[in-house]
Amino acid sequence: MHKKFDSGEIEKKWQQIWEEEGIYNVGERDNSKEKEYVLVEWPYPSGNLHIGHWYAFAVPDIYVRYKRMMGKQVLYPMGFDAFGLPAENAAIKRNLDPKAWTNDNIAFMKTQLASMGNAFSWDKTTSSTDADYYKWTQWMFTEFFRKDIAYRGKGIVNWCPGCNTVIANEQVLSDGTCERSGDVIEKREMPQWMLRITKYADRLTDDLDPLDWPEHIKEAQRQWIGRSNGATLDFKLSTGESVTVFTTRPDTLYGATYLVLAPEHPLVAQNEANISNYAEVADYVALAKQKDEQDRLDTTKEKTGVKLEGVTATNPALGEEIPIYISDYVLASYGTGAIMAVPAHDERDGAFAKKFSIPVKQVVAEKIVFTGISAPKPEKETLVRECVDLMIEHPTNGQFLVQKEVDGTHTHIHFVGGGTDGESQVVAIGRELEEETGFTEYEIIGDVVTTSQGHGYRHTKDKNQLTISSFYHIKLKSLDQKPSELEDGKHTIEWVDKSEVKNLLTWEGHQKGWAAFTEGQIFTGTGVIINSGEFDGLDSETAKEKIVEKVGGKMSSTYRLRDWSIGRQRYWGVPIPIVYDPEGNAHPIPKEHLPWHLPEDVDFKPTGVAPLAKSEELKKRTESIFGAGWTPEVETMDTFVDSSWYFLRYLDNKNSEEIASLAHQKDWMPIDIYFGGAEHTTMHLLYSRFWQKVLFDLGLVTENEPYRRRLNRGLILGPDGNKMSKSKGNVIDPDEHVKRVGADTVKMYLAFMGPYEGSNYPFDLGGIAGVRRFLERVNGLSEHIVDVAFDTDKLLHKTIKKVSEDITTFKFNTAISAMMMFVNHVEKNGITTGDYETFLRVLAPFAPHLTAELWVAAGKTESIHLTKFPEADESLIVDDIVTIAVQVNGKMRGTIAVSPEASEAEALEAARHSEGVEKYLTGEIRKVIYVPGKILNLIV
RNA sequence: GCGCGGGUGGCGAAAUUGGUAGACGCGUUAGUCUUAGGAACUAAUAGGGUAACCUGUGGAGGUUCAAGUCCUCUCCCGCGCACCA
């Protein structure tokens, strides 16, 4: 029965009780229980809790509460990632102290978080801005510096004009704008503090494999790291120097007809004296530098470049002289900044060679392995004797001529022709075609495919498959003869669509084109090596290593990943704990001087110069500790550094001796499930894995990988289906809805919209009312209490099972739907007192406030949240009568109610008497398919 | 271009993993209550047809007694990467 309630009053009351009793604090590890570490990404304290925070924290709370009720000791900590630009920008705007602004926001945000009624482990909280937190951030940095993981790098960095600071590669979006401010990133050359994440590239890639993460997240990280395996090869120059190139295709070395250097390649400037057209070259280099990233990345534009006159290289395989070019299609920052160009087998090289009329040399032929399978049931029959070698294409409609042979068991599909004797000349084909088909006007589209295995076809080990190593694609010019000439009674000749041909035969490589040798075509696949001296006939993969060995190269990998630039020319962050001696050498600040406090006597308005440079206090502090002439580092750290280890600090948040003791880590690590946003896939998630690995190598952590499982939730969209934004006026204010319908309703509604993983959902104002209505019905459920309730206990135990399963697979939506069905049933059939109390415990993780209230109303004294989650009684779940579908000739014609163990005869008998079925049972029943408890299908 | 996900009512979505497609909720329609509310309850709600029935999970084929689910091809959408050698 529907019964309204004052959610505001109930929720306030229980939140207060929970806080006073501290029932969600975890305290010390209790080894009598299993541990569960549930992590959500700590928020930035913007001072305004939005609906996304609700989705991020309140929905996982269902899982947390469930696990607690299942008897686990659950750590569900919450903290604040409080350094960063918003505080600084707000402080500038309002002329405030960022520290005070941040602390006020944290305090306010805590009250907002309390309104969620989540089971947070507040006793384990921390904040990145606390000095006893950033002390450890700094200390780790100094350790990293000593191990050469942190270094002062040179080179080109991303400058965000909006943020007035350098940012990392990961923080630049693919359109070249800043992830935070949306401003277009400029390239600047300036010294930078970097972390050597590239040193961990292999481990960051390889260690993904065993992780129980969604494949798409792992794949995104792999792509971001972008390992490619290949080799470095040295090319001698006419000047006596040598150039190292990186290539993934050393097997094409014999086809390398020129070299290309990035315009910024050091050898260009070094050879000013040797390059006769240096003026032209210098102009091009200057032009390339000016171009912004966008231009350079535009793949559609035409290739440009300049030949280095007077300098040549030697192809180490052939000993031939080849020219050298510079071009901006070669990036200085990737590989070695130089490539060997193989125009026959690389699209870009091919395009460049065409424009500059550089010779093209083919060194790889496509190996065609077509495995043709005749129609069905391969295991029954032997094979197609003859198969394709003439593929005859219709002059106008693109169809292919095939020969079908029907022998009763299956259909053989042939392309017309066949029976080649191994001759490969076009003439021979033409002759054969004329003889066999009478076609006289045709053109050969694909040339003969040559492979090391010669021509013809052969059976593979699998007797049902046929391997063809040559074939001919012929297009008719006109249709002056009818293909019917080929019909012989057993075979029919038909034109079929290309798509049907593909249906009948699958083959590897068909997407690459019909043949390897079409003039002007660039074949980028692997295959059989040709025109490469002693390596002819090998396949590409084998040839790679052998060719590298011959020319003294080295197999190696290169990565897309760049080192992590962490220095920020802004104020509100962790000061980089480095001081410089009078000679300018960097020294880490010893542990006894940490935390190296962020100075407060600073005008932090952004000027592009680090604000800390203006601090007199910092200058004095440095000199008084280290001596006259010593100067402090004035940059602060990227806030992604702060968040790279916060989950460790939660474990031991008051430890003044270590980041977190190994004993505490052993208690809780690894994190069992990490809920977060997709935007962190290649930022925070990658950085923190890297950080953990460095700590692991330093012996400071127990785990090589921090997160056992990861789940990316989706986004809550505005009611109009668009991303929420102030300008669109579609922003949902959670506080307003909490006030109106309560936290339990908002939380359950968010959980009810769809599976927690992946998708984005529009916030529907009608939908949230539906959930509130459900809770009001639960509130009135006690009025349905009876002594005997029809089947309610059965449904209850099914519901328990369903809810348990769904929570553990993060399908909260179907868990809620199951509970709704249960309530619908109770309203019609009643419920016993015991079952009512059991149901409240099932609902408790979803609606903690209301269930706490109803629990007390039912006369209980212990908190419902300290009770056990009900266990499903399997004996009650089994049905004694089930409704199964009856099909006649595969069509649904009715249902029958029978026992799941009913015999076929019993089911059949029931079906005969079933209305709707019997009228279809006119003829004799030829076959009965009966799956007990599932279906009865009668073939008449 | 390459790599991952997805396409099911008016909407968000279910479907025991090959066995009654559309659970649950929203919305809509009709009705009930001296009823004016952003209330509750009852019933209907994939489409077509008076009906019996027919058609339906992006499209085309296939396998099967039986396909949203498996296979082949194809179209579209989202995300990641992309002159990365």
Count of residues for chain A? 940
CA of A829 to C1' of B40 (A): 19
Separation CA A642–CA A635 (nearest Å): 15
Q: Is the CB of A914 under 7 A from strand B?
A: no
Dist CA A57 CA A215 (whole Å) = 24
A829 CB-to-strand B distance under 7 Å: no
**HEC string of A524-548?**
CCCEEECCCHHHCCCEHHHHHHHHH
A825 CB neighbours strand B below 7 A: no
A856 touches strand B (CB under 7 A): no
A888 touches strand B (CB under 7 A): no
Cβ contact A339 with chain B strand, < 7 A: yes
Taking the C-alpha atoms of residue A490 and residue A492, their distance in angstroms, rounded to an integer, is 7
Residue type, position A89, single letter:
N
pLDDT band at A278 (very low <50, low <70, confident <90, very high): very high
Nucleotide nearest to A761 (CA to C1'): B12
Nucleotide nearest to A559 (CA to C1'): B84
- Give the residue with minimal CA–C1' separation from B60: A499
Average pLDDT over residues A447-474: 34
Report the greatest alpha carbon distance in chain A: 108
For A354-371, the pLDDT digits (tens) are 899 999 988 887 654 333
CB crowding A835-863: b at 16 or more within 10 Å, else e? bbbbbbbbbbbbbbbbbbbbbeeeeeeeb
What is the per-residue pLDDT for A376? 24
Residue showing tokens 């207060």: A16
Closest CA to A341 of A328, A365, A355, A324: A324
Distance, CA of A892 to C1' of B7, in Å: 26
The CA–C1' separation of A312 and B32, in angstroms, is 95
Residue A841 Cβ under 7 A from any strand B atom? no
Q: Please report which helix (H) or strand (E) contains residue A623, including its range.
A: helix A616-626
Copy the structure tokens of residue A508: 């590897």
Return the domain boundaries, chain A: 137-202+563-640, 227-356, 369-519, 726-866, 882-939
Specify the pairing of strand A390-393 against strand A472-476: parallel
Q: How big is chain A by its Cα radius of gyration, in Å?
A: 36
Task: Flag whether A802 is marked binding.
Answer: no
Strand B closer than 7 Å to the CB of A224?
A: yes
Query: CA neighbours within 13 Å on the CB side: how many for A60?
Result: 29
The answer to whether A248 CB sits below 7 Å from nucleic acid chain B is: yes
Nearest alpha carbon to residue A643 among A73, A80, A17, A15: A80
pLDDT at A378 over 80: no
The answer to whether strand B lies under 7 Å from the CB of residue A506 is: yes
| pLDDT score for A754 | 93
* A507: nearest nucleotide, CA–C1' criterion: B72
pLDDT above 90 covers what percent of chain A? Answer: 57
Least confident range of A232-236, A402-406, A795-799, A931-935? A402-406
Question: Average pLDDT for residues A517-532, to the nearest whole number?
Answer: 70
Per-residue CB contacts under 7 A with strand B, chain A residues 546-565: 558, 560
Asked if the Cβ of residue A502 lies within 7 A of any atom of strand B, the reply is yes
Q: What average pLDDT is seen over chain A?
A: 82
Task: Between A602 and A432, name the one with better pLDDT.
Answer: A602
Provide the CA A223 to C1' B81 distance, Å, integer: 6
Strand B within 7 A of A765 CB: yes
Which superfamily does A369-519 belong to? Nucleoside Triphosphate Pyrophosphohydrolase (3.90.79.10)
Read off the pLDDT of each residue in A720-729 and give the average, rounded to a whole number. 82
Please state, in angstroms and rounded to a whole number, the distance separating the CA atoms of residues A766 and A333.
53
pLDDT, average across residues A831-850:
96
Give the distance, in angstroms, between residue A894 CA and nucleotide B47 C1'. 21
User: Would you say residue A409 has pLDDT above 60?
Assistant: no
- Residue A246 contacts strand B, CB under 7 A: yes
Four-way CATH pick for A882-939: 3.60.15.10, 3.40.50.1370, 3.10.20.590, 3.40.50.1950 = 3.10.20.590
Of A673, A735, A739, nearest to A709 by C-alpha is: A673
Residue A187 CB lies within 7 Å of the nucleic strand B: no
State the pLDDT at residue A297: 56
Task: Judge whether residue A919 has pLDDT over 90.
Answer: no
Residue pair A268/A277 in contact by the 8 Å Cβ criterion: no
Distance in angstroms (rounded) separating the CA atoms of residues A769 and A741? 8
User: Which residues lie below 8 Å from residue A57, measured CB to CB, with a gap of 6+?
Assistant: A40, A78, A113, A116, A118
pLDDT (tens digit per residue) in A114-126: 999 999 999 999 9
Find out whether A652 and A674 touch, Cβ atoms under 8 Å. Answer: no
Which position has the higher pLDDT, A411 or A619? A619
- CATH topology identical between A369-519 and A882-939: no
Chain B positions with a protein C-beta closer than 7 Å: 2-5, 11-15, 19-21, 23-27, 38-42, 53-54, 60-67, 72-74, 78-85
Does A300 contact strand B, using a CB cutoff of 7 Å?
no
Omega before A266 within 30 of 0, i.e. cis: no
Q: Which pLDDT band holds residue A605 (cuts at 50, 70, 90)?
A: confident
A773 CA → B29 C1’, Å? 21
pLDDT at residue A232, rounded to an integer? 95
Q: What 3-state class would DSSP assign to A30?
A: coil
Q: Whole-number Å distance, CA A768 to C1' B45?
A: 21
Nucleotide nearest to A249 (CA to C1'): B85
Residue A401's pLDDT is 59
Tell me phi and psi for residue A773, to 5 degrees. -60, -40
Identify the helix (H) or strand (E) that includes residue A891.
Answer: strand A891-898
* A539, pLDDT greater than 50: yes
Whether domain A227-356 has CATH 3.90.740.10: the reply is yes
Token readout for A4 is 């309204």
CA A776 / C1′ B42 distance in Å: 19
Query: Is the CB of residue A220 inside 7 Å of nucleic acid strand B?
Result: yes
Q: CA-to-C1' distance for A616 and B68, Å? A: 70
Question: Mean per-residue pLDDT for A669-679?
Answer: 95
Q: Is the CB of A816 under 7 A from strand B?
A: yes
Tell which residue, A811, A771, A597, has the closest CA to residue A132. A597
Q: Of all protein residues, which has its CA closest to the C1' atom of B11?
A: A764
Per-residue pLDDT band at A383 (split at 50, 70, 90): very low
Q: pLDDT grade, residue A419 (50/70/90)?
A: very low
The nucleotide closest to A510 (CA, C1' atoms): B73
Is-contact A251 A547, C-beta < 8 A? Answer: yes
Query: Has residue A490 got a pLDDT over 60?
Result: no
Backbone angles phi, psi at A852, to 5 degrees: -60, -40
Query: In the numeric block, which tokens belong to residue A841?
Result: 């415990």
Q: Which nucleotide is nearest to A818 (CA to C1')?
A: B24
Q: Give the pLDDT mean for A71-92.
A: 92
Q: Is the CB of A456 under 7 A from strand B?
A: no
A151 touches strand B (CB under 7 A): no
pLDDT digits (tens, 9 = 90+) for A148-179: 999 998 877 888 888 888 888 888 887 778 88
**The pLDDT of residue A398:** 52
Å between A827 CA and B49 C1'? 37
- Rounded to two decimals, the ipTM of the complex is 0.94
State both tokens at A630.
Answer: 């010593």
- Strand B neighbours among A 735-754, CB < 7 A: 740, 752-754
**Region of poorest pLDDT, from A223-237, A257-271, A400-414, A883-897:** A400-414
Q: Which range is least confidently modeled, A213-217, A484-488, A652-656?
A: A484-488
pTM, rounded to two decimals: 0.84
Dump the DSSP string for A651-671: GGTT-SSSSS-HHHHHHHPSB
- Cβ contact A2 with chain B strand, < 7 A: yes
Q: Is the CB of A857 under 7 A from strand B?
A: no
Q: Is the pLDDT of residue A302 over 50?
A: yes
* Angstrom distance, A916 CA to B49 C1': 19
Would you say residue A631 has pLDDT above 90? Answer: yes
Homologous superfamily of A726-866 in CATH? Isoleucyl-tRNA Synthetase; Domain 1 (1.10.730.10)
Give the pLDDT score at A471.
44
A887 closest-nt by C1' vs CA:
B66
Say yes or no: Cβ of A511 under 7 A from any atom of strand B: yes
Higher pLDDT, A650 or A925: A650
Q: Is the CB of A247 under 7 A from strand B?
A: yes
Residues 644-683 in A having a C-beta less than 7 A from any atom of strand B are 678, 681-682
Q: What CA dihedral angle connects A515, A516, A519 and A525, to 10 degrees?
A: 130
pLDDT at site A135: 97
Which residue is listed with tokens 């309630």? A5
Residue A259 CA to residue A341 CA, distance in Å, equals 5
How does DSSP classify residue A413? E
Q: Is the CB of A927 under 7 A from strand B?
A: yes
For residue A599, whether the previous peptide bond is cis, meaning omega lies within 30 degrees of 0, is no
**For residue A564, what are the contacts with CB-CB under 8 A and spacing of at least 6?**
A168, A169, A170, A194, A195, A197, A638, A687, A690
Higher pLDDT: A606 or A394? It is A606
Query: What is the full DSSP assignment across A476-533?
Result: ES---S-GGGG--SSEEEEEE-HHHHHHHEEETTGGG-S-S--TT----S-EEE-SSG
Provide the residue type at A87 as one letter.
A
Environment class of residue A575 by beta-carbon count within 10 Å: exposed (0-12), middle (13-18) or buried (19+)? buried
Confidence category of residue A384, pLDDT binned at 50, 70, 90: very low
Q: Is the pLDDT of residue A375 over 50?
A: no
Protein CA A797 to sugar C1' B44 (Å): 31
Chain centroid to CA A261: how far? 33
Q: How far, in Å, is the CA of A929 from the C1' of nucleotide B21?
A: 21
Would you say the C-beta of A770 is within 7 Å of strand B? Answer: yes
Q: Are A338 and A327 in contact (CB under 8 A)?
A: no
User: Looking at the C1' of nucleotide B67, which residue has the nearest alpha carbon?
Assistant: A890
Q: Which residues of A274-305 are buried (b: 16+ CB within 10 A; e: fewer)?
A: bbeebeebbebbeebeeeeeeeeeeeeeebbb
Other C-beta atoms closer than 10 Å to the C-beta of A269 total 13
- Write the Ramachandran bin of A340: left for phi over 0, alpha for psi from -120 to 50, otherwise beta: beta
Residue in A194, A146, A136, A147 with CA at minimum distance from that of residue A591: A136
Q: Which residues fall within 8 angstroms of residue A737, CB to CB, at 6 or more apart?
A: A745, A746, A768
Give dist(CA A883, CA A879) in Å, integer. 10
φ/ψ (deg, to 5) at A736: -60, -40
Mean pLDDT of A559-567: 92
Q: Which of residues 361-400 of A touch strand B (CB under 7 A)?
A: 376
